[in-house]
Amino acid sequence: MDSTDAVPAVPAASAVPAPILAARGVSKVYGGQRGLGVRALADVDVSIAEGATVGIVGESGSGKSTLARLLMALETPTTGEIRYRGEVVSGLPERRLRSFRRRVQIVFQDPMSSLDPRMRVHDILAEPLRALDAGDERTRVPELLDAVGLPRTSARLYPHEFSGGQRQRIAIARALGPMPEVLVADEPVSALDVSVRAQILNLLKRLIGEFSLTLVFISHDMAVVRHLCDEVVVLYRGEIVETGETDQIYARPRHEYTRALLAAVPALGHLPTPPGGAAA
Amino acid sequence: MSTLSVRNLTVTLGAAVVVDGVSFDLEPGQRLGIIGESGSGKTVTALAVMGLLAPSLRATGQVLIGDRDLLAMTERQRCEVRGGTMAMVFQEPMTALNPTMRVGRQIAEAIRAHQRCTRAEARQRATELLARVEFTDPARQARSYPHQLSGGQRQRVMLAMAIACDPAVILADEPTTALDVTVQAQMLALMARLVTEENAALVLISHDLAVVSGMCERVMVMYGGHVVESGNTAQVLAAPRHPYTAGLLATSAAVSLDSDRTRLEVPYIPGQVPAVGSFPAGCPFRSRCDRATAECAVMPPIEAVGDHLAACHHPLGGPASPQIPASPQIPADLAESGKE
């Protein structure tokens, strides 16, 4: 609770830097009257430092996508708040979120449903630039295509003319358009073929460096999270069960659920270990 | 005689060849993994073996169950084989199960389609089968509708149905892809146990090398409708000969729980899987392969390279050896076998 004061836009390199994005005591209940609906998240605290790469892992129903939507201020938490550089963004009307929208962008799992099939790639990439006054589309669109490794001629084509991996590149280019500080990626490689997944992982890793991005990476894939993220938050049934540095958590998981998750990852040459009767 | 013998199976969609000359044999208790990405033809291969192809697809070759050719059978004869001698587990149990029928009754229906018994007997057997696939309260859960069950439970119902009539062959198409990783581990362990208990042959289709390597002693790698590499799983993984297999393996190994996570770039296969019908003529992989030459415009035959089979003009680790290895049955340990 020490970071509630407003901080300047560019924090000094002080001892304890204020988080760029934080969830404080966040709960989310869907549907029903007070306390009667489905509780997707319960009293979650997450603090994301500028420049960090944070993986949020968990299985279906763990609340990880809900947390992503709350961090993006796409939904309002039932209790608690989301802060961006110390300022509350949860519950604000859309017109007051313009600068936040430029700073925090998202890439979704399925690029086929997140790209408008009737729009050409140029317009898909230009739309957020226009909406957020984020630069001249004539120069920015070719730059963005370069950044994600697509030929500039792609701008004239429609999403269905691309493969799954290329579509995900388009979605990443669109997210980079407004020059965000934070990129939230919700299972961005889960729908891709194995041989293409590595290309997108390499692209993300390169872009994090090139654009000095803070990454929030939502995934059920423990190996991919380990590859991309320096910190991990483990969610189970809407609650954080473990959080810490990637190397530490993967080498010495403290919570039983984290251990079960890691043991269940298939590895070359042997059967994964099912959790000891805990899974439903 | 093999339990299942597939000979030169070819599936066409109009002028496009979707599966090209796939052959394999399965003995009782053997487990074969088919690895491939989207468009590789692995699912179409399974559907053709089951006789479940869409009308627009045409299969030629032979699918021999004992001495009977499934492709030459009438639909009525095939219905006896399907669910009886051969059973299939699909990727998405929500679409494979009937949403309007209690799961116990669906299993009972599968039993009565193949075996002479009363309704009560079938229902009793259905409950026993649910217990075998680790339902804790089978009598009660038999009365559930599919939507009342979790994804893992639904997939276990599919498995119960598959083993209901003591099949000789079980085909499982990405049976755990839609499941959470802990549930996947549970499902794989259960499948391994049941297949062993039933002494059934298993064909496990997956995009995940790790899943197949833990389950199957033999593996077939498909790309663009062709089998590009096949053999003992440990031997294939220890020394892949086809550049596609090697690429998949390098990618999987580079992003794993014990890879070097500080590396900026992991090895990858350039380009992407072409759409069905737009693979290059000759070797389907040559448009993405750094070893491709003019020679690759002609599809290489699948032949012995070292200790297993590969279809490549320029296999890794040197040219094709003239000898075919004795028998690919050595339960070789991954760590020690064939490091070259």
Give the span between the Cα atoms of A183 and A204, in whole angstroms.
10
User: Chain A: residue nearest B180 by CA?
Assistant: A59
Q: Of B2, B25, B166, B4, which is closest to residue B83 (Cα–Cα)?
A: B166
CB of B127 closer than 8 Å to CB of B121: no
Q: How many residue pairs bridge chain A and chain B with CB atoms within 8 Å of each other?
A: 151
Verify that B206 and B151 share a domain, yes or no: yes
Question: pLDDT (tens digit, 9 = 90+) per residue, A222-257?
Answer: 999 999 999 999 999 999 999 999 999 999 999 999
Note every long-range contact of B16-20, with CB atoms under 8 Å and residues 24 or more positions apart, other chains counting.
B16/B276, B16/B277, B17/B225, B18/B44, B18/B57, B18/B225, B18/B276, B19/B44, B19/B45, B19/B48, B19/B225, B20/B225, B20/B226, B20/B299
Q: Do B256 and A246 touch (CB under 8 A)?
A: no
The domain of B136 spans 4-216
What does the pLDDT read at residue B94? 82
Verify that B49 and B179 share a domain, yes or no: yes
pLDDT class of B331 with cuts at 50, 70, 90: very low
Verify that B163 and B226 share a domain, yes or no: no
Residues of chain A in contact with residue B254, where contact means CB-CB under 8 angstroms, are 198
Q: Give the nearest partner residue to B207 out of A194, A267, A278, using CB atoms.
A: A194
User: Beta A79-84 vs B218-223: how paired, if at all?
Assistant: unpaired
Q: Do A274 and B185 touch (CB under 8 A)?
A: yes
Q: Do B192 and A271 touch (CB under 8 A)?
A: yes
Which tokens belong to A83? 């802060």
Mean pLDDT of A170-178: 96
Residues of chain B in contact with residue A222, where contact means CB-CB under 8 angstroms, are 181, 257
What does the pLDDT read at residue B338? 36
Verify that B184 and B245 share a domain, yes or no: no
Q: Do A222 and B185 touch (CB under 8 A)?
A: no
Give the span between the Cα atoms of A188 and A10, in whole angstroms.
29
**pLDDT for B38 beyond 90:** no
Kindly give, in sequence order, each residue whose CB lies less than 8 Å from that of residue B84, ignoring residues fewer than 6 positions away.
B114, B165, B167
What does the pLDDT read at residue A35? 58
Residues of chain A in contact with residue B249, where contact means CB-CB under 8 angstroms, are 268
Verify that B225 and B135 share a domain, yes or no: no
Q: Do A201 and B255 touch (CB under 8 A)?
A: yes
| Number of domains within chain B | 2
Q: What angle do CA B108, B114, B115 make, to 5 degrees?
A: 75
List Cα–Cα distances, B117 to B110, B123, B126, B158, B164, in angstroms. Answer: 12, 10, 12, 21, 13
Q: Calculate how close chain B gets to A130, using CA atoms only, in Å.
A: 32
Residues of chain A in contact with residue B224, where contact means CB-CB under 8 angstroms, are none
Verify that B211 and B235 share a domain, yes or no: no
Asked if the C-beta of B192 comes within 8 angstroms of chain A's C-beta atoms, the answer is yes
What is chain B's alpha carbon radius of gyration, rounded to the nearest angstrom? Answer: 21
Kindly provide the b/e burial profile for residues B63-100, where b requires at least 16 CB atoms within 10 angstroms of the residue's own CB. Answer: bbbeeeebbebeeeebeebbbbbbbbbbbbbeebbeee
ipTM score here? 0.82
What does the pLDDT read at residue A15? 53
Domains, chain A, with CATH or none: 21-263 (3.40.50.300)
pLDDT class of A69 with cuts at 50, 70, 90: very high
Q: Do B213 and A198 touch (CB under 8 A)?
A: no
Verify that B54 and B172 share a domain, yes or no: yes
Asked if the C-beta of B186 comes within 8 angstroms of chain A's C-beta atoms, the answer is yes
Verify that B276 and B293 share a domain, yes or no: yes
Asked if the C-beta of B334 comes within 8 angstroms of chain A's C-beta atoms, the answer is yes
Residues of chain A in contact with residue B239, where contact means CB-CB under 8 angstroms, are none
Q: Give the nearest partner residue to B37 out of A195, A270, A279, using CB atoms.
A: A195
Verify that B52 and B138 share a domain, yes or no: yes
Verify that B53 and B168 share a domain, yes or no: yes
Which tokens belong to B36? 């491939």
SS (H, E, C) chain A: CCCCCCCCCCCCCCCCCCCCEEEEEEEEEECCCCCCCEEEEEEEEEEECCCCEEEEECCCCCCHHHHHHHHCCCCCCCEEEEEECCEECCCCCHHHHHHHHHHEEEECCCHHHHCCCCCCHHHHHHHHHHHCCCCCHHHHHHHHHHHCCCCHHHHHCCHHHCCHHHHHHHHHHHHHCCCCCEEEEECCCCCCCHHHHHHHHHHHHHHHHHCCCEEEEEECCHHHHHHHCCEEEEEECCEEEEEEEHHHHHHCCCCHHHHHHHHCCCECCECCCCCCCCCC
CB atoms within 10 A of CB B139: 14
Verify that B16 and B131 share a domain, yes or no: yes
The pTM of this model reads 0.86
Verify that B173 and B141 share a domain, yes or no: yes
Q: Which residue has the tokens 């699909």?
A: B90
Q: Give the nearest partner residue to A279 out of B182, B188, B270, using CB atoms.
A: B182
CB of B187 closer than 8 Å to CB of A271: no
Q: Calculate how close chain A gets to B11, using CA atoms only, in Å.
A: 23
How high is the mean pLDDT of chain A? 89
Residues of chain A in contact with residue B183, where contact means CB-CB under 8 angstroms, are 59, 279-280
Say which range, A3-7, A55-59, A182-186, B228-232, has the weakest mean pLDDT: A3-7
Q: Do B209 and A268 touch (CB under 8 A)?
A: yes
Give the span between the Cα atoms of A233 and A56, in whole angstroms.
5
Q: Which among B183, B216, B249 is the end of a domain?
A: B216
Give the span between the Cα atoms of A58 and B182, in whole angstroms.
10
Question: pLDDT (tens digit, 9 = 90+) per residue, B247-285?
Answer: 999 998 999 998 998 888 999 998 888 888 889 999 999
The CATH number assigned to the domain holding B233 equals 3.40.50.300
User: Chain B: residue nearest A258 by CA?
Assistant: B182
Say which range, B7-11, B151-155, B196-200, B317-321, has the weakest mean pLDDT: B317-321
User: Beta A79-84 vs A87-88: how paired, if at all?
Assistant: antiparallel
